[in-house]
Amino acid sequence: MITGVLGLKGSYSEKAAKQWIAKNNNAGEQVLEYCGDIQDVFTLLESGACDIGVVPLENSIEGSVGVTLDLLLEHDVHIIGESIVTIEHCLLSRGKKEEIRVILSHPQGLGQCRQFLKEHFPAAELRSTGSTSHAAKLATEFEEMAAIASPETADVYDLNIIMPNIQDRKHNHTRFIVITRPDALENVMEHVRDNKQDILYKTSIIVYLDRDRPGALYAILGDFAKNNINLTRIESRPSKKVLGDYVFYIDLEGNISDTIIKDALYNMKSNVGMLKILGSYPKFDHYCESN
């Protein structure tokens, strides 16, 4: 089993992947393939060079990762799991605090530390990188450069932790999803441990209304309400067709194999322009342990 993850060694995606593999996979030795950015993970998976991919989907401070949402729509992938990681951002550098002139990180990392940066480094140049671990690697080149990354990357790249826990909110978590190709699904699931019968499942879908009319979205959501189906997340993204045209990403409790879910989605399909079912997977329930 080869797993594609975002970033280099020490990345949060690597931590999410290892966490999910330890809990769910019984295939023995695992190989991690490190990717430069989120799109590279999808490309690697699509090419058949890896069996599963792990990418960030949403953060408790900065919200959803738009690139991941767009790629879920554009690529034929299936979600088989999720992994929620506690984020502990640190400022890492070879130099001293007063020497720092440039700060690097993934856009989400910079966004999650926005107030910290404004307060402590208002004059520093902020640069975006493909991942927090890539930022850490780049920060080894010059003493005036620093990275926002995990404390684990300090050990990996021999950097000093200049300031720990610099995120703007104490409780900071990122939800990662585990994806595979439809043609690899059966083989991958053979290596996933059987889950308990009473485990909670989540189903993710993408909906495009195709035509804007009064009550169109309400009609869809109302059907879920009438069937007592709990929606845990709903978000819109531009369809990239015309201004004001949106695609909706919805997470709901339940499994596609449940009759009530299957019927609700069947009824929905005839009332929308497009319905893409991304998959049903066990709900991750361990991230609150550190709260």
All structural domains of the chain: 2-86+173-194 (3.40.190.10), 90-163 (3.40.190.10), 201-287 (3.30.70.260)
Backbone angles phi, psi at 267, to 5 degrees: -65, -35
Structure tokens at 241: 């067709």
Question: At residue 211, does pLDDT exceed 80?
Answer: no
Give the catalytic positions in this structure: 174, 176
pTM greater than 0.85: yes
Select from 127, 135, 114, 105 the least CA-distant residue to 61: 114
Please state, in angstroms and rounded to a whole number, the distance separating the CA atoms of residues 123 and 120: 9
Q: How many CA atoms lie within 13 A of 180 on its CB side?
A: 22
Q: What is the DSSP letter of 25?
A: B
pLDDT one-digit tens code per residue, 244-267: 888 999 999 999 999 999 999 998
pLDDT one-digit tens code per residue, 162-196: 999 999 998 899 999 999 999 888 888 877 766 55
